[in-house]
């Protein structure tokens, strides 16, 4: 499902955030900058799992199409090992085929 804003369609993105302790958080959004700012600010809209874990760094993001594709991609990345996520961040690993697309 895509969000319609007048005549424009908003696309979904998947993103990876690194905490101060080095943990990698994966999420989806229609606005990466807004969502990252929410995470950095903490409550009430940021993810509970990131509260108090800053400073945070936005390590990766890619526009992937609709919400269904973004959700499938998020689920797949969350199942990856840390090394697979690090390879994606370094640009050494592509996003999985058929789950989303990288702009």
Q: What is the Cα–Cα distance from 42 to 18, expressed in whole angstroms?
A: 15
Tell me, yes or no, whether 97 lies in a domain. Answer: no
Confirm if 40 and 46 have CB atoms less than 8 A apart.
yes
Phi, psi of 51 (to 5 degrees): -65, 130
How many domains is the chain partitioned into structurally? 1
Domain that holds residue 19: 3-90
Q: What is the CATH number of the domain that holds 52?
A: 3.40.1440.10
Tell me, yes or no, whether 102 lies in a domain. Answer: no
Residue-level pLDDT, tens digit, the chain, 103 residues: 334 444 456 799 999 999 999 999 999 999 999 999 999 988 677 788 888 888 999 999 999 989 999 999 999 999 999 999 999 999 999 998 765 444 3
The pTM score is 0.84
């Amino acid at each position: 499902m895509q969000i319609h804003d007048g005549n424009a369609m908003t696309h979904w993105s998947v993103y990876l955030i690194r905490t101060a302790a080095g943990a990698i958080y994966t999420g989806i959004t229609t606005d990466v900058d807004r969502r990252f700012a929410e995470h950095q600010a903490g409550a009430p809209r940021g993810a509970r799992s990131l509260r108090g874990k800053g400073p945070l760094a936005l390590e990766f993001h890619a526009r992937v199409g609709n919400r269904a594709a973004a959700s499938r991609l998020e689920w797949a990345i969350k199942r990856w090992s840390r090394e697979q996520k690090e390879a994606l961040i370094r640009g050494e690993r592509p996003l999985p085929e058929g789950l989303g697309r990288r702009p």
